[in-house]
Structure 1
Amino acid sequence: MNAMAVPRRRGARDWIVDSSAFLLAVLFALMGAAEFPEFPTEPVLPVWLRGVDALLTLLACLSLWWRRCWPVQIAVALVLFSAVSGMVSGAMLIALFSLAVHRPPRTSLAVYGLSVGAAFVNSALWSDPHAPFLVLFLLGAALQGAVTGWGLTVHHRRELVESLRDRAVHAETEARLRAEHAQHQVREAMAREIHDVLGHRLSLLSVHAGALEYRPDASAEEVARSAKVIRESAHQALQDLREVIGVLRAPVGELPQPTMADLQQLVEEADEAGARVEFVEGYSGAVPERTGRAAYRIVQEGLTNVRKHAPGADTRVLVRGAPGDGLLVEVRNGPSPGPEPDATGGDGRGQGLAGLAERVSLASGHLEHGPDAGGGWRLSAWLPWPV
């Protein structure tokens, strides 16, 4: 800590405290200068020396106004002056207290040791026939020690309050960082949802638009059906985007989540796109919400990949399980009737399966995928289903 503190503007409280300290020091000086006939003191000082002592005492009292800026210098000067003058004792005690409050204990105790030596010198110079030397010395040392101890108590209390304040600020900062981290996780989850939902919708649009392009001889009924699917998928994609934007505007939130009840509609949409999907259900009981949501995303990603990489292939969706045994979700497709579409060009191939593997892992399940013996592709996942 710097020996010289930066001066600051005095507030109303500082004016009151400084004025009280000055008046108290002056009162001590007047009491020390008072003479009592029944208790004569020796030796008697000359008038001019007593005048010098009074003037220096007044300057010592006035110096207390700057004790916050120079606590060490003022305390040491007043301690040294107290060795030869008794009238400065009040100002010296106030300086010791202020030093203990504003400086480290090591500095305060060092100055206190100096004040004990000054008390010894003062007791030796100004002996009192009515009080033994040792009593005067011990009384002065005890009074200075009490003032220094009081100042150290205030110093440690202020440090404790500052420490508690810092801990509160630190805790508030940690809470804010945790909230931001939670928001970041929510937005990452939303990014996965956007990939799953919009990827599914846009793949439907691509399939039907491609059919209209390469089937100019399609009947009016087929064209109308494809146009209906394109219109509904585009409308639903816009609805999903509106929901995403609405969630992004809020501090924290999440998209409306699908359930197991939406699987049938998902399969029907894929079947209408010409994927020839067979849906096999073999579970009983209410599937937990988290498990059902993960199952829906697995089927959605599997059907999307079939449309991307094996358009027109026969597909089988299997969902079976029971409480305690878990839920098995499988999407298996045969070989594509035609050549696999070109998937080069950095379209994010494989990102859907990576995100799906992370989703299944967070649900405490496991995911398997790869080609099967018949030349097709198999995507299988097991999800826990507690009793």
Structure 2
Amino acid sequence: MRDELLHFPVNYGERIEIYSGVARLSGKIWARLVRPDGDRPGTAFLIVHPTSNFLGHYALEPLAGHGVAAVGMTTRYIGNDTSLLFENCVLDIASAVRSLRERGYERIVLVGNSGGGGLAALYQSQAEHPTITATPAGDPPDLTAAELPPVDGLIMLMAHPGRAQVYTEWLDPAIVDEHDPFTRDAALDMFDERNGPPYSAAFLARYRQAQLERSERIRAWVLERLARLAADEEGPQDFPFVVHGTCADPRFLDLSIDPSDRRVGTLWGDARTVNVAPATLGRYTSARAWLSQWSIRDSQGHGPSHLPHVSVPVLVVYGTADNAAFPGHARALYDAVAHDDRELVTLRGANHYFIGQPDQVTACVSEMVRWAREHGFN
């Protein structure tokens, strides 16, 4: 088995979005290629996520063991969603696809894992039918003017529809003061036992509406802040802030909502604790990144919005014990595909990261390779 560290060229631009000058000046993003010994396979699986470090992705060695090449890549925002722009992530994937084509890989299967599902769908839709000319804040890049080589197949692996949708579904509507997560509206508090679990349909309806309203309040503040920054041509171009309470989806505590085999809690443990913990989804962000990544109204990284515009085969794989990407998420991705060359695979009992489940990794990779070979991706 061969194991190589790859780098792909990217233009970080003039705006400082990451503080490491070494990283910016390198003009590179990184990936890890694992493939079988001997002749180079004709197909490469490219596994992507907006921020995760996929150099150690669990599927790399197993895929290579099946005789295919597997690449786990990072974007320029590795481990840093504070200033992330989905549109730049599209350019990073394009660089990886071009480089793999130059290496002789005739077919590329783009695997969007977890939050990479929406990104993979966005990439292919723009590669086939480019429409996006700017970020939601009106900044470059113009994807209609970019070279975005299309891939040959898409896999949505343990994926949710997109970061903005999940973020909104997890946003705590009980917070009434954006600077203090402990000042709360008891009537909208999912952690108040008087509300549940189980939660009534009426409570859930109020809760979901209040989540949207909080998202809109944050959006209004972001737009006002950006307008003030734009008025000062010599001042800063962006502004950082904290969003409290980003891990409060009632599905974490009430297993009857979007029912599955999952356990109570989140990917990171107890929901009440994680909801205010420093290291969780979208806690720190800039104004421009919030619009691109977390705004349910503005973000362009929503898988079901883009999958109707892709022509390549699509495989959706989900686990019934996943407590981040729920069965309804998988169905939404599958249903969004407008053609018939689509497949939905269910991994019974599989959790989001296959923690303690080596047999599930084996089953998942076997399904991916089986599907690929049925489509001639050898």
Structure with the higher fraction of residues in helix conformation: 1
Structure with the higher fraction of residues in strand conformation: 2
Asked which structure has the greater RCO (Cα within 8 Å, sep 6+), the reply is 2
How does the TM-score come out when normalised to structure 1? 0.20
Pick the structure with greater CA Rg. Answer: 1
